[in-house]
Amino acid sequence: MYQYILFDLDGTLTDPREGITKSVQYALAKMGIEEPDLSALEHFIGPPLYDEFRRCYDFDDVQAKQAVAAYRERFSVHGWKENILFDGVPAMLKTLRAAGKTLAIASSKPTLFVEKILELFEIASYFDVVSGATLDGSISTKAQVVEQALTLLSVKDRKSAVLVGDRMHDVEGARSCGIDCVGVTFGFGGLQELQQAGAKYIVQDFAELIQLLAG
C-alpha cells in the first residue's frame, strides 16, 4: 500500500504535554503574560510555535520570535525530557520495519530536539530519516518538514508515501505535498478535527494502524 511512512512526533508517538505546556507558560511569563492553567496551553502541541504565539496573543514578528526563544530556554534544558512514549510504539515500529517499510519522522519540532527525544526512548534506529524544523525558522511548517523528508528519502512516487499524525496541520501539510495522511485519534486533535481536515484514513490505536499500513 505505502512504502514510505512518515510519522509526526508530538501526539502521535509521544505525549509531550508537560514539557510543551510548561515551556509555553515560561515563555508567556517572560512576555508579561501569566497563564496558571497548563491545560489551556495544549493547543500549542502540534502547530509551529511562532504561528501559535502570533495567532493566540496577537504578537508581532519580533514578539513571537522572542517568545519562541524564551520557550526554547526552558525546553532545551527540561521540556524535551518531560515526555512520555505512548504504549506500543516500539512494537508498532518493529512490525512495520519487519514488513519492509521505510520509516521517517516529519515533525515541526526542531530536529535537534527530535533526535534527542528519539534517543531518550531508544527508538531512533527505526527511522531512516529524521526531518524536523530548523532553529532559524527557515523550515518550520508541517508542509516544509514533510517535503524535506520526502526529498531526503528520494521519494519518486508521492502515492507511495503517507504521513501519520494527530492534528489538522498534519493533514494539511501532507495534502500540500501530494501525499495521504492517516489521522490518529489518541493524540491532541481528535476525531472531529481530523474528519474536518480531510484525513484519508482515521485510526483509533496502533493495532488499527498496523493493520492499515503493514500490508
Instruction: Please confirm, yes or no, whether 8 is among the known catalytic residues.
Output: yes
Instruction: Yes or no: say if 52 and 68 are a contact pair by the CB < 8 Å rule.
Output: no
* Alpha carbons 89 and 78: distance in angstroms, whole number: 23
Instruction: Yes or no: say if 89 and 114 are a contact pair by the CB < 8 Å rule.
Output: no
DSSP per-residue letters across 131-193? EEE-TTSSS-SHHHHHHHHHHHTT---GGGEEEEESSHHHHHHHHHTT-EEEEETTSSSHHHH
Catalytic residue among 8, 10, 166, 180: 8
Active site residues: 8
